[in-house]
Amino acid sequence: MLAEVHGDAPAPRWTLQVYREVEAGLHLLPSHGQCGAVLDFTWLGEPAEGDVLETLRMRPLLGGGDDPHAHLGEAESIVVAHASGAVFVTDDGPAYDFAMRATNLGRAGVLDACGILWQAASAQLIDEGGMLDFHHQVFDAGRTMRCRCRMWPGGDSLDDKLRNLRRGR
C-alpha cells in the first residue's frame, strides 16, 4: 500500500539505519517473516545514508536515554528527509512529534501509518473495513500505532499503555 501511495516519489525511500534495523529483525522470531518481506521490496531501492554528524546530533533529541542505537533510524530518516525534500514516515510517537514541532518538514512532510491508510483510502486502494483490519492486525501482533483514531482497538488508554511500554524498553 505504501508502494502504491508513495512508490512513484523520487528516491530515497528508506535509510541505511532503517535497513540495518530491519535486517537485525530477521534474527528475531516474531518479526522474521515481516522483516524478510520488507528486505524483498525492490521498490524501496538503495537505502540512503544521512549526514552522520547531523544524525548523531539529532538522535538524543528523540528520546531513548543512553541507548546509542535508540532512534538512530528515525534520526537518520529525518536528516535524509530534510536534505532531499522527502516525506518522513514513522509510527514512533516522539520522532513524529519532534519532526512536526522542531523541523520544517511541515504537516505534509510527516506521516504515520494511519496517515498512509487515509491517503490509500482517498485513492480508493482500501475501504474502511480494510483500514479497521489493519489497525486490528497491528494490535493483535502486540505492536502499536501512533494514531489515536477510533479504529485503534485498544482506545486511547491502551494505546498510551503500549506507548509507555515501548518507551521503557
For binding to Zn ion (CB under 5 A), which residues are involved? 114, 147, 149, 151
Q: Smaller CB distance to Zn ion: residue 55 or 144?
A: 144
d(CA 87, CA 56): 20
CB of 99 to Zn ion, least distance (A): 18
CB of 84 to Zn ion, least distance (A): 27
CB of 117 to Zn ion, least distance (A): 7
Q: Smaller CB distance to Zn ion: residue 76 or 159?
A: 159
Q: Smaller CB distance to Zn ion: residue 5 or 75?
A: 5
CB of 151 to Zn ion, least distance (A): 5
CB of 92 to Zn ion, least distance (A): 15
The beta-strand segments (E) located in the chain are 88-89, 110-111
Longest pairwise C-alpha distance within the chain: 44
Rg for the chain (alpha carbons), in Å? 16
Say if residues 148 and 159 touch (Cβ distance below 8 Å).
yes
Helix residue ranges per DSSP H, 41-112 = 52-58, 72-84, 93-102
Q: Smaller CB distance to Zn ion: residue 59 or 135?
A: 135
Q: Smaller CB distance to Zn ion: residue 76 or 112?
A: 112
Strand partners, 15: 48
d(CA 162, CA 11): 33
